[in-house]
Structure 1
Amino acid sequence: MTLSINEYFELPDGFLEATPATLHQCVPGPALIHLEGQREPAVAVVLLLHGNEPVGLHAVQQLLRHYTGRPLPRALTLVVGNPQAAALNQRHLDDQPDFNRIWPGTEQGGSREADVFAELCRRLEGRGLFAAIDLHNNTGRNPHYACINRLEAPFLNLAALFGRTVVYFTRPRGVASMALARIAPAVTVECGHPEDAAGVDHAREMIDAVLHLDHFAQEPPRTGAIEIFHTVAQVRVRPGLQVGLDAQHDVRLEPDLDGLNFQLLPAGSRLVNVHADAQDPLIAIAEDGSEVTGEYLERAGQEIRLKRQAMPSMLTLDTRVIAQDCLCYLMEPLTL
């Protein structure tokens, strides 16, 4: 299939009624949908970069129904990511890269998909943006939280509109919010499990709040208004090893593993159990790309434990997501 950007200047027929499974019938691939509002430049809202994370579509549909028959407070550009994967409720198709790892700045360049998102960014930069919001769900149990990759006041204030919990990260590379941060304040918002209706409401409320803004304050949020955590490592399962809930797997997950998300765990806390034959089953990668497994993880018999205090995020029991992305991220509190 030839991949290109579909660009619309009004809402495509059927968009408001579409489900994630049927959206590809009216928006067949990556798309820009430009909608007029009372002020310019537009707020960009990125949705369905991962096809199994429908919160963006549902939140935007709710928002647009709310404004039926009246103008949007500010222009809105919808960036539709991967409706083909959404049709099958998959993060991405087997022959596709991860659509939230191939934006400008990626370490996975050279693909037709990366070229498409580079062109998409050029078009957005040419039009200008007021802000950018990339909407996601989690497969594991996590609170709602916002992620930024710059600690400047407009980014902090944008994140604070979503809630108190803010994660600062500079890796993985090639994500939408990092690429769009070159144009305007940008944020990734994580809205809980795909079936969490409260996540849809929360996302819609945030988009609406940003559409009503005139400007971003140049002073950071007041002390105590937000809690910031810095992502210090991504933890992956070594390629070739099998992950699951049963003892025969190389890496065995406890059924309540994702209950550790956003808990500040002391050194010595167990993450996973491993088969006796599994050698170096987990790998920790720092934000500069270096391997830091020995700094954060240690083996004690058939357990992998934290070597130092850390807070996990995005722990999941979804083995497909673990294989396509990672087991979790490790974070530490950050004081500005």
Structure 2
Amino acid sequence: MNPELRILHAVPPALLAASSDALLELLGGPTLIHLEGERQDRLFVSTLLHGNEDTGWLAIRKLLAKYAAVRLPRSLTIFIGNVEAARWRLRRLDHQPDYNRIWPGTSNPELPESALMRAVVNEMEGCPLFASVDIHNNTGTNPHYACITWLEDANYYLATLFSRTVVYFRQPLGTQTSAFAARCPAVALECGKPGSIGSVEHALQFLEACLHLQAFPARLFPKHDIDLFHTVATVKVCEHTTFGFGQGPGVLKFDPALDQLNFRELKPGTSFGLIDGHASLGLRATNGHGQDVTEQYFARRDNLLVTKRFLMPAMLTCDAKIIRQDCLCYLMERKAC
């Protein structure tokens, strides 16, 4: 079905006890909720752009329950995204695009879903914005970290309210964070795996801080307060390459503990797994300009798939469906603030 944007100006009481898989029935589709608070510069928060990532919704639900009978410290707009996929606790359904790759600025073809995201951005045009926050989980073992698309002090201050580990990225295009970054400080939060201990509380604490913060400091951001990384490449398994983990079937046999390499600075020669027979690498790494840079980062050594240079991966996952729908991982390098 083609998604249509619903706009509410109050919280339906049933939402305060609803799990993410019940939101489609309660809301009927992607929904904006505008709520008024003491400060008029508004916090914009999106959740469930990926339907299997429910930490953001659980944190928002707790926040709404707390302020159900009390005026918010700051005006708040909540965008609840892919409730159709959330019904089945999937990142996206097979007929859908990725809801975090189709915001204004995307290179993807025009779709009904991209018109939906443009409608969200247009709806927020008339609102004074304090900050934009997009809350996510991931499927591999990763620390909690924040992502930004603009290198500015206000973005650093916003990101480090969540974590001193911050990733600067320009690819992929069409993300919520990049769509709002020109208008206000904008950040995406990566809250570990869904259901991980402390993830909901961490996201909730961050949202509370954003609601109560009067303004971002005017002074220069202290560089020693941040570990900043820059995404330099996206790694995908080639479309026709079969793969698995351990000794299962597939041309590529990734290490079953591959996601344990996330946010570790890897030396050249680190193995990602085995390559069966005389097959090629089976991976494709592209830089921020879409150029193929695979040979800069990976090589075949006998039957091993190994790294060629010092690098740090993020979002390595052992979930084959996520790898097909998104990517194997991102590669990062340290960056000066």
| Match of residue 301 from structure 2 | 300
- CA distance in 1 between partners of 2:176 and 2:220 (Å): 23
- CA distance in 1 between partners of 2:309 and 2:2 (Å): 48
Taking the TM superposition and a 5 Å limit, the aligned residue runs for 1:100-111 are 100-111=100-111
Shift of 1:178: 0.5
Taking the TM superposition and a 5 Å limit, the aligned residue runs for 1:1-336 are 1-245=1-245, 246-336=247-337
Between stretches 242-251 and 279-288, larger displacement belongs to: 242-251
Is the Cα contact below 8 Å between 1:171 and 1:287 reproduced in 2? Answer: yes
**What secondary structure is seen at the aligned counterpart in 2 of 1:41?**
strand
- CA distance in 1 between partners of 2:56 and 2:326 (Å): 20
CA RMSD across the alignment:
1.2
Unaligned runs of 5+ in 2: none
Is the Cα contact below 8 Å between 1:154 and 1:220 reproduced in 2? Answer: no
Shift of 1:113: 0.6
Is the Cα contact below 8 Å between 1:233 and 1:329 reproduced in 2? Answer: yes
- CA distance in 2 between partners of 1:239 and 1:2 (Å): 27
For 1:52, the aligned partner's letter is: N
Deviations 1:22-49 (A, max 9, x none): 1111122121100111111210111000
Is the Cα contact below 8 Å between 2:2 and 2:113 reproduced in 1? Answer: no
Unaligned runs of 5+ in 1: none
- CA distance in 1 between partners of 2:105 and 2:211 (Å): 27
- CA distance in 1 between partners of 2:277 and 2:13 (Å): 56
Deviations 1:50-108 (A, max 9, x none): 00000110000111222232111101100111001000011001000000000000011
- CA distance in 1 between partners of 2:133 and 2:317 (Å): 24
- CA distance in 2 between partners of 1:280 and 1:115 (Å): 38
Deviations 1:163-211 (A, max 9, x none): 1100000000001001011221100000011011311110000011011
For 1:15, the aligned partner's letter is: L
For 2:277, the aligned partner's letter is: A
**What percentage of aligned pairs have identical amino acids?**
42
Shift of 1:126: 2.1
- CA distance in 1 between partners of 2:226 and 2:64 (Å): 29
Q: Across the two proteins, how many residue pairs are aligned to each other?
A: 336
Is the Cα contact below 8 Å between 1:128 and 1:183 reproduced in 2? Answer: no
For 2:44, the aligned partner's letter is: A
Shift of 1:277: 4.1
- CA distance in 2 between partners of 1:171 and 1:220 (Å): 27
Query: Structure 1 residues 9, 333: closer, same or farther in 2, change over 3 A?
Result: same
- CA distance in 2 between partners of 1:299 and 1:115 (Å): 43
